[in-house]
Structures are given as structure tokens and as C-alpha cells.
Amino acid sequence: MTIRLLLRKRFRKLTANSKGFSSVIGTTFMVLVVMFLSTTVFLRTLSQNTLYNEAIREKNQLESDVLSENVQVTNTTYVVTGNDRVQILAAITNPSSLSVQFTTLWVYASNATYTGYNFTKLSNVNVQGGAYLSRSFDMIVGGLRSTGAYSFASWLITGRGNVVPLQKSTLSNIVISQTTQGIGALMMDFQNFNYYKVYSKSGQYYFNFSSAKSGYNVAKSDAPLGFSVNLANLDIKERNIILDFNSELFSIFPSTGGNYKAVTWYIVNVNPTTGLIQTTFTNIPLNYTKPTFVYFASKSPIQGSFSTVNSNDMFTGTCPVNLALTGTIGGSPFGQNLPFVSILVS
């Protein structure tokens, strides 16, 4: 009881003294403000530190991705299709696990009296990790003339900022001599033999370039399908070769009873950008030493219509595949058979 009375007296004394009471309230309020500000500063510092560490991780990951890009562009050819215009054809290989997006293409042209260059922004030019892509690009370079001869160089810029040069094919005299005197004027690039799914849209047929797979191992379930072959004209007389609509890629499947079944894919014209297969055929020129991608997809020669090669046209198993090419060489009749690969259809 004595303690309670003592506390009551002290409280009355404190409340009776307004200055002492306000000092306590003020001190308490100040402590609360300091604690609030300290907590806010601490949380703000912690948040900024988290953002900084996240930015460092993203920067390190970006640098790692930039260094990991290993895309290669080879077999580049340049064709001046008219005044101020050049078509660039190239094979893009992405051996890394990263998907690569190309955003810009630069091209440089020159001869003894002329220098010109230009660039273009690209869209939807993506190569998945481990994939292969054949593409062509139409560029405008002021001052080019269809009658002129030029030296070219070009570069692709990736979305991560890497610069990828477009490399030309190099052919040695030994390879040219052995090829032309051994099996004919045409040589195939065995590293770039691919097949693609063929799909229809609005009554037209297209190569699905994003579905490119090695032509040596074909999934029957992917039918209808078509093939691409990269050919180089190495004629020892340096004559140009023209392929006509009778050129074909054919396979021979053994069947039961000792019989054989031939499956043929005839040559087609394909838009290298959209994959559209033309229902009419235009002869394909193979200029001396210029690698050219040639496509095969039609069940019959293209003469105003196109029909696909479907899964029921093929057997499963291993079979040889040949190229039977016809046309002209230097204006004279030409024909060559390339017994080049075998494929496994599963």
C-alpha cells in the first residue's frame, strides 16, 4: 500500500509540472521518429543493395552469353540482281546452345573506281541453338551496276552486340581438279545437306526453314518434306551451268519380294526468305565457283502445279540417294549424276 501511494504522489507531481511532462512526451516522440527514420534508411539501403546485386548478376550473365555466342556464317555468295541491288545468300550455323537473333546486316562493295555500303534492319532472323539456317537477303547499295564486277564484304550484328562476318567458300585447285576430272563439274557440300517439313497455307506450299534437320536421318512422320543441297560449279573450263525442271533427287528403297521402290523429289524454286514453293519453274543458274542452294520437294516435274511427297510414298530403312541433274553447260546439253549419300528413314 505504501508503494502505491508513493507512485501516485510522484505521478501527481509529474502531471502537476507541465514542463516535465512535455519533456517526457517530446523525448518519447523523438525516439520514435529516430527509430522510424533508422528503419526506413535500413530498408532503403537493403533494397538498393538487392537491386545492385541483381544488376551485377544480369550484367555478368549478359557478358557470359555474349562470349558464348559461336554462330558461323559461311558459303556466302553475292549476286547483283540489278542497278543498286545485290542479293546475299549465306548458310548460318549455330553450334552453341544459345538462340541467336540477328538485328542488322551491313554490306560493303567496291571495285577500282567505286566504293559503296549500306545496312538494313532485320526482323525474325533467329537461329536456335544447334540449328542451321539458309537465308538470302536483298540489299540496296547505291551505285551498283548489273554490268559491273565488285568485291563484297558483309557482317551480321546479333542482338547481344556481336559482329559476325559472312565468309565465302574457299576452293583449292586440288579439290577442283579431283572433282571435275573424277565425277563431273558439280561438287556437293556434304556438311549442308538438310531436309525440311513442307506445309500448306491458303492453297500454297512452303518450306519450314525453322524445321531444318540433317538429311542423313529422316523422320517419316515429318512428311511431306523437301531437301536442300548446296552445289558448287567447278567446271575446269569455267562454264556456267543451268539446271532445268527435270533435275531430281531420288532414292531407291528395297521392299519385300526383291522389288525396289523409287521415290523422287523434283527440283523447285523456293523463296529463300518466306520458304514459298513456286508452282512454275525458272531455270537455276550455277555460276562458276559460286555455291548455290538447290531445293527438291515436288512429286513430279514442276509444270504449272506442285504435289508433295508424303509418308506413304516412302519405306523405312536405309537407302541410297542420288542427284540426277539436267540442263546446259556453256549453252550445250548437260547431265550429271551425283551418287553422294545414303539416308536412314525411320
Distance between alpha carbon 140 and the CA centroid of its chain, in Å?
A: 22
- Given 3-state DSSP classes, what are the helix, strand and coil percentages for the chain, each rounded to the nearest 5? 25, 45, 30
Q: Which residues, other chains included, contact 225 with Cβ-Cβ below 8 Å and sequence gap of 6+?
A: 195, 196, 197, 198, 218, 297, 309
Same domain, 282 and 267: yes
Q: Tell me, what CATH number does 330's domain have?
A: 2.60.40
Q: How many domains does the chain have?
A: 3
Residue of 276, 191, 266 lying closest to 230 (CA atoms): 191
* DSSP conformation letters of 284-304: EEE-BT--EEEEEEESS--SS
Same domain, 80 and 64: no
Same domain, 192 and 271: yes
Residue 19 has a pLDDT of 55
Backbone phi, psi, residue 59, to 5°: -65, -45
Residue with more model confidence, 339 or 178: 339
Same domain, 91 and 161: yes
Banded model confidence at residue 120, pLDDT cuts 50, 70, 90: very high
- Residue 288 and residue 291: Cα distance in Å, rounded? 8
Same domain, 189 and 316: yes
Residue 219 has a pLDDT of 84
Banded model confidence at residue 177, pLDDT cuts 50, 70, 90: very low
Same domain, 198 and 245: yes
CA dihedral 133→138→140→146, nearest 10 degrees, is 120
Residue 26 has a pLDDT of 65
DSSP, res 222: G
pTM: 0.51
Same domain, 95 and 188: no
Same domain, 256 and 341: yes
Same domain, 155 and 260: no
Same domain, 113 and 253: no
The answer to whether residue 335 is domain-embedded is yes
The answer to whether residue 257 is domain-embedded is yes
- Residue 245 and residue 298: Cα distance in Å, rounded? 10
The answer to whether residue 322 is domain-embedded is yes
**Average pLDDT, rounded, for the chain:** 79
In terms of residue numbers, what domain contains 293?
180-345
The answer to whether residue 171 is domain-embedded is no
pLDDT at 229 over 60: yes
pLDDT at 2 over 70: no
**pLDDT tens, position by position, 235-245:** 777 788 999 99
The answer to whether residue 138 is domain-embedded is yes
- Residue 271 and residue 95: Cα distance in Å, rounded? 25
Same domain, 161 and 193: no
Q: Element (H or E) spanning 317, and its range?
A: strand 317-329
Percentage of the chain modeled with pLDDT above 70: 78
Q: Tell me, what CATH number does 109's domain have?
A: 2.60.40.10
The answer to whether residue 89 is domain-embedded is yes
Same domain, 151 and 247: no
Instruction: Report which residue type is found at 124.
Output: N
Residue after which a domain boundary falls, among 25, 48, 68 = 68
The answer to whether residue 175 is domain-embedded is no
Give the mean pLDDT of 255-277: 81
Residue after which a domain boundary falls, among 50, 68, 86 = 68
In the chain, alpha helices (H) = 2-16, 18-68, 173-182
Residue after which a domain boundary falls, among 35, 68, 101 = 68
In terms of Cβ atoms closer than 10 Å to its own Cβ (0-12, 13-18, 19+), residue 48 is: exposed
- Residue 188 and residue 211: Cα distance in Å, rounded? 22
Q: Is 288 left (phi over 0), alpha (psi -120 to 50) or beta?
A: beta
Banded model confidence at residue 171, pLDDT cuts 50, 70, 90: very low
- Residue 215 and residue 93: Cα distance in Å, rounded? 15
The answer to whether residue 173 is domain-embedded is no
